[in-house]
Amino acid sequence: MGERSVSENENETTIRLLLVPLEDLVVFPNMNVTLTVDVGDEERVLLVPKHDGEYAKVGTVAEVTDRIRLPGGGRAVALNGLHRGVAGAAATDSQGQLFVDVDEHPDDEHVDGKLRELEREYRAVVEEILELRGDDGRIAAFVRSISDPGALADTSGYSPELTFEQKVRLLETVDVRERLELALELQRERLALMQVRKRIHDDVESGVEKQQREYILRRQLDSIRKELGEDEASVVEEYRQKIAEAEMPEKVLEQAERELSRLERMGDQTPEATVIRNYLDWLLAVPWGKRSEERLDPVYTREVLDRDHAGLDDVKDRIVEYIAVAKLRKERGIEEDKRSGAILTLIGPPGTGKTSIGESIARATGREFVRMSLGGIRDEAEIRGHRRTYIGALPGRLVRALRDAGTLNPVIMLDEVDKIGADWRGDPSSALLEVLDPAQNHSFRDHYLDIELDLSEVVFLATGNMTETIPGPLLDRMEVIRFDGYTTDEKVAIARGYLWPRQRERNGLREDEVSISDVALELGITEYTREAGVRQLERELGTILRKTATKIASDTVEVPVEIGHEQIREALGRQKVFRETAERTAVPGVATGLAATATGGDVLFIEATSHQNGDKLVLTGQLGDVMKESAQIALSSVRSLATRLGIDEDAFDDRSFHVHVPAGAIPKDGPSAGITMATALASLLTRRPVRHTVGMTGEITLQGRVLPIGGLKQKVLAAHAAGITDIIIPERNRADLTEIPEKVREDVTFHPVMSIDEVLAFALEEKPVESNVAL
């Protein structure tokens, strides 16, 4: 035995022991091991782990419990680990054995509440690990029998999952609490890893079981199908019969039979079979050979359109013409021309009946009606479909529209065609080029079906609010019919014939319970709505009828109820729309212009003022570049006419001008306000107000010439609704006056002009007035 000395710490003693290196092996206290080493007569030794020539800082003091002689003369010893020991100074004896000074570190026997909590948590984690490993209970009982916390932590050394480095780290942790915390951390990591492995194993096992179960069930299903005569052969025969009855064109029939042969060869159990069956289902969903019996009666068609919609003569005339031509071709035996399809595009403000007239056209012609909303779509595949190589591929919207219609000659409405988007997935408007071209759409090819589809018999109706956002090549293929809005009289007729009965029925009222006069309808139109269409008007009528229905249901009024001025004011509140032309133009520097927008025509009041010190032209009101340039041209034109207008040349020196176009929150652009800006500036400089009955529109040049503009009908309707009786227009727009409704032409006097001189001569009052505007 070695020499022993007692250190200052009662639990630590120093002793000189023989060092026994353990190559890649860690022995913990309370472990029993047998090693083939010769320890001589030593009763105790220090077992130190060794790896790549490096020794651990802490070893295990072990006592020799038995010496064993092996066959062949070898020796072995049985050792029992006692406690930890820290190696100190080393020396070699005369026989070459290495002895070291060892500081013995038996575990501290003091146990507190925190340590007990760690013990319980450690046991729980170990028991969960043992449960995952399928322990029979003996190891769990062994762990439960250990009461010493240090010895409990050392049981982690038995774990085969811990690495050599982790075991050395655990051995070198002398403090019991720290050691137990480290052991708990290692066992938690081990538990997490085992749980993941268990989960993966269970998933794989369940997958295998599911496949085996499906296989057995499918075999049973095959047997049942054979007994019932519904096996794969019968499925193929069912498809073959449907294909024979579908009246497919020759090339389509060849494609269908080719795919059916593939299905028959590969069987019904392969993933590709599902793809083929879906393809055949879609191929059969197209209504080959099915057409609506078209009613070719122009008189009846006009009656239906007139019954459903007031006004809109342009589109009604075009549909009647299409029916009349088709009737003559059929009666005279002229062969059908696949390049003569009808593709109409209805452009106009919201609420003018563009979408609803599509249903009327379908009903008048005896065709089916399908509506496709294109607003906001960005994927070209929405039109042409996806190729079959993609998972979840589908045909495009046109094929689906034909399926929904059930015929090859429906009326298909492409709604909001001006709001199609585009991104990296493609440009849907480019895909529509083929669809909306009568010279090409008889051979439209969908990516999914990959066959030629004849769309020449389809009547396409596209709708939109403006043509500016429609790509040029697409617009070139369209026959554009403009919906420029309704006059007040037309709105009264629409409200009387359509909106009022519809809202009355929606609000649960009978015809004999409530009525309204045309005068009251006109009041609601002129003082509570400002729109080209009738949507807001219908909402206001709905409000009136809801409040009337409430009174009738509450027995606060007697039926029948007559809706007059008083009832409208009570239901709709204060007046919302005002005719303020006379008030706004009462001072010099304000002129009334006309504008066309995506929501219809509108009236603009252009204001001009000036101040000394400067030579700037300030423009406000969210004006676009074109409108800003028009203001600069207008100022230059007025300056060139200063002498003829009686304006002092010095009036422009050292003076800044400010032109403002209310409302400031709405963006504005375009050249048609040129003469209005020039008139406002001329009015400001001459102090002559603009006549309050006058509105104007026209582009101006530097020489003072007035150029033509677009959207005249919308602008005139807006001016008429605002109470304007004199409208100045460019001379070259005189021909467009034929589009103006006759009632408006009777109420409004038009003044075609060629130069700004003519505009100012008519628009300005003869005498100047005093003004607060500084000159």
Burial 140-178, CB ≥16 within 10 A → b, else e? beebeebeebbebbbbbbebeebeeebbbbbbbbbebbe
- Beta-carbon contacts of 749 under 8 Å, excluding residues fewer than 6 positions away, are 725, 726, 727
Instruction: Identify residue 261 by its one-letter amino acid code.
Output: S
Coil, strand or helix: which one is 566?
Answer: helix
Coil, strand or helix: which one is 742?
Answer: helix
CA nearest neighbour of 693 among 734, 722, 731, 736: 722
Say which of 292, 610, 630, 672 is annotated catalytic: 672
Alpha helices per DSSP H over 137-175: 138-145, 149-154, 164-172
- What torsion do the CA atoms of 167, 172, 177, 182 make, to the nearest 10 degrees? -30
Say which of 167, 491, 668, 715 is annotated catalytic: 715
- Tokens at 553, concatenated: 């249901």
User: Could you tell me whether strands 561-563 and 514-516 are parallel, antiparallel, or unpaired per DSSP bridges?
Assistant: parallel
- Beta-carbon contacts of 350 under 8 Å, excluding residues fewer than 6 positions away, are 465, 531, 532, 533, 535, 599
**Cα 341 from Cα 439, distance rounded (Å):** 9
- Beta-carbon contacts of 377 under 8 Å, excluding residues fewer than 6 positions away, are 420, 421, 428
Coil, strand or helix: which one is 448?
Answer: coil
**Cα 26 from Cα 487, distance rounded (Å):** 100
- What's the gap between Cα 757 and its chain centre? 54
**Cα 18 from Cα 40, distance rounded (Å):** 10
- What's the gap between Cα 637 and its chain centre? 49
Active site (annotated) includes residue 672: yes
- Can you spell out the DSSP letters for 180-237? HHHHHHHHHHHHHHHHHHHHHHHHHHHHHHHHHHHHHHHHHHHHHHHHHT-SHHHHHH
- Tokens at 405, concatenated: 């219609």
**Cα 260 from Cα 582, distance rounded (Å):** 78
Instruction: Identify residue 622 by its one-letter amino acid code.
Output: Q
How many helices (DSSP H) and strands (DSSP E) are in the chain?
26, 26
Q: What is the DSSP letter of 570?
A: H
Residues pairing with 605 in the sheet: 592
Count of other CB atoms within 10 angstroms of residue 588: 27
- What torsion do the CA atoms of 630, 633, 637, 638 make, to the nearest 10 degrees? 70
User: Could you tell me whether strands 655-660 and 600-612 are parallel, antiparallel, or unpaired per DSSP bridges?
Assistant: antiparallel
- Can you spell out the DSSP letters for 414-426? EETGGG---BTTB
**Cα 576 from Cα 27, distance rounded (Å):** 95
- Tokens at 215, concatenated: 């296989």
- Beta-carbon contacts of 518 under 8 Å, excluding residues fewer than 6 positions away, are 492, 496
Rg of the chain in Å (alpha carbons): 48
Active site (annotated) includes residue 210: no
**Cα 363 from Cα 368, distance rounded (Å):** 8
CA nearest neighbour of 163 among 134, 142, 193: 193
Positions annotated as catalytic residues are: 672, 715
